Structure 1
Amino acid sequence: MGFVSMVYSGLRQSFGTISLLFSGYTISFPGRVFGEQRGGAAEILSRTGVNHGNEPHLRILGQCYPGVVQYKGKQEPALTWDHYKVAQDLPDSGSRCFAHKAERVMMELWDFFRCEPGMEEVAASVVNKVCQKLVPDMWYEARIQAVITYHAQVHKTTVNKAQARTMQLTRAQYLLVPPSWLATHHPTWEFMARRWCDPEWWEQTHKAARERRLKMAGPAHHQGSQSLNQYAKKWSAAHGGQPCGQFMAFALAHKGKAESEVSFNPEDPPSAYSNATVHSRISQYTAAARQVHGEDWDPSTHDLDGELVMRVGGGKKHGRYWIGDSTLDTASTPTLSQIRARSTDSAPPIRPRPTATQIQIDQVQASMEAKMEEKLREERQRYEALMRSQMQAMFTYIQSIGAPPPSPDLFPGLAGGVPPPGGVTPPSGASPAATPNQSEASNFPISPTSPWTAWPPQ
């Protein structure tokens, strides 16, 4: 297999992955051997139209692994992408010289892929960000593979990845099964074997993971390894061919899997989404879009507007758009400085992007205010019920001893008031504050017929 049919025609940044989109062109790799050579050619990426994920990047990272490096004034194993950036490199088989191992990794990647013209800077930025995650992932996978290899070679048993994740080896057992890319870096493998057998290190690792998880309001999404466009196609196929735009797909991907019975409604509350922070994004984007396109604009039937996403999300943060990062074309989406330069008074404002922590604080604050309002309402109802009960008891007692009713001014809650006994009009200005008697009825020698009226119904 001396040729590989593909062209590197697109990039998608998605938490450490790059999607490779192929369109059928043929690229020859003369004199380059990648991994194990079989039949005189490299056995990689041979199936046109298949997303091969991170396989080529991990292999290049392993081949270029620098071992122990001088970093921040001390010698330590290369465990991060920054270690690759300080590791000196030797000329390769083609006499090419690179500033450091990181540059070699990035340049060797283009020996196997061809970038779309005009996308070189974007591609380099994405590859750099992807490698920041892939290097730690190498060590995670190396431990799991060591467990699988040890059981296969020593115990002659098969262990899958799910089982290997929960299994541990001793330091001596780890040292028996180093990965091929660490064959010449024994001190590094020994360092990792000691670390993996240290209970204190595991406790610190688990604690850090728990803290990161607690900061998340919910699952990131339900797409799995699919892109947003792939999720939209899958949802449409599972729901009778209903159309599914990018914005609608973004909302649905945070409700459930494509095959599940999920539907989009702009009026859905935050509880409808697996991650409450998504609701604020959807609401703000919808409001901004209707400000631009009119109140009748339906977000479910339109693709995402890159400029609006930049406005409501405060630009790109850490290289990512606030909504639908994988679907927006970086080349056609204006930068924040370009948007500011051409903004008018009628355009939606550029809002600072709230952090997940700030959104959670706002939600907790709103929840506390709602609970406090409900508590005050209940207390007010209890107080009013208690006052009515006490007033009823007082009126019943006064009536039982034959005393006249109090002035209407004293209890304004009595509907219609109570007329004075005998039709005698009290002197002007008479009130409980002006005379010791609450009414003049007590001055009559003969008590008239009881003027008590029925207690007003509750």
Structure 2
Amino acid sequence: MPHLYDLYGMAHTASYKKAKAFSESDLDDPNNFTNISSHQKLVAYRDAGKATKGDDFNPSQEPLDPELVMISGGGRPHGSIAIGDGIIRCQLTLPEIKARQSSSCPEITRHPRPVELAIEAALQKERAANQAALEKERLASQASLQADLDERDQTTTRLIEEERARNEAGQRALYELFVGLCEKSSQVPPPMPVFSSIGTNNSRAASHDPSPGQPSPNEAAASNRGVSPP
């Protein structure tokens, strides 16, 4: 038969029709219990037992210790002990237990009231909600920044392409003018140069630096007028 500690846990995790075996893992989540006060009492007793008897203390494997119930529950704050009231009895009062308490025993703390536990649970829930909201805002800000960077890159690429297109159009217009001058002087124009598509700077350089052996438009015009090129 389960010890009183487990029976108390079973009674406060579900109705008697749905009661199941109590496990220490049930203490991991206060929502497993019908009220937060019952969860706090069980956790306080377990922690006080580990502090007094060692980390291997398992409240499910031994009877309830009345003095330990008094210590973990803060005495009889409402005229009854925290766990098993009416089933177990403690002849000593909390001051008497405290008076003979050794330095190795856990400190006797005030038993929190249910309203205090409810407030603490609400605060924890609010903190978790605020943390989630901050994380959501951070992710949204990061996504917005990335979108701005992508848009800037696209704009830069578009402007570079437009500049390159303007440079190539200017080079072609200059070549066509040069071809017209050659035709008027009955000269054979050189082949159309290959316009650089690497970048705008190269395109500008190509327009001012004709290939070796090919006269520039200015040189051809000067030759047609019988003037030595500069």
Give me the TM-score of the superposition, normalised by structure 2: 0.66
* 1:46-57 mapped onto 2 (5 Å cutoff): none
Matched residue, 1:318? 78
Counterpart in 2 of 1:239?
none
Quick one: distance in 1 between partners of 2:204 and 2:85? 91
The equivalent of 2:149 in structure 1 is 391
Unaligned ranges ≥5, structure 2: 162-199, 206-230
Contact 2:11-2:19 within 8 A present in 1 as well: no
Take 1:259 and 1:296, find their aligned partners in 2: how far apart are those partners?
Answer: 32
SS of alignment partner, residue 81 of structure 2: coil
Q: Please tell me the residue identity of whatever aligns with 1:295.
A: D
345, 354, 360: which one aligns with 2:103: 345
Per-residue deviation, 1:261: 4.2
CA RMSD of aligned residues (A): 2.3
Letter matched to residue 374 of structure 1: A
SS at match of 1:392: helix
Partner of 1:329: 89
Look up the equivalent residue of 2:45 and give its one-letter code.
Answer: Y
CA contact (8 A) 1:245 1:302 kept: yes
Q: Deviations 1:131-172 (Å, cap 9, x if unpaired)? A: xxxxxxxxxxxxxxxxxxxxxxxxxxxxxxxxxxxxxxxxxx
Partner in structure 1 of residue 41 of structure 2: 281
Query: Aligned letter for 1:373?
Result: Q
Change (3 A) 1:336 1:443: farther
Q: What are the Cα deviations for residues 162-185 of structure 1, in whole angstroms up to 9, with x where unaligned?
A: xxxxxxxxxxxxxxxxxxxxxxxx
Superposed CA deviations along residues 74-122 of structure 1, whole A, max 9, x for unmatched, are: xxxxxxxxxxxxxxxxxxxxxxxxxxxxxxxxxxxxxxxxxxxxxxxxx
Q: How many residues align?
A: 166
Is 1:249 the counterpart of 2:33 in the alignment? no
Displacement after TM superposition at 1:443 (Å): 9.5
Alignment match, 2:228: none
Which structure carries more helix by proportion? 2
Q: Displaced runs of 4+ in structure 1, greater than 6 A?
A: 442-445
The superposition leaves residues 357-389 of structure 1 with CA deviations (integer Å, 9 ceiling, x where unpaired) of 111111111111011111111111111111111
Structure 2 distance, partners of 1:343, 1:402, is 83
Contact map agreement 1:281 1:323 (CA 8 A) in 2: yes
Select the structure of larger CA radius of gyration.
2
- Give 1:377's match in structure 2, choosing from 127, 135, 143: 135
2:3–2:60 contact (8 Å) kept in structure 1: yes
Query: Structure 1 counterpart of 2:72, which letter?
Result: V
User: How far apart are 1:257 and its partner, in Å?
Assistant: 3.8
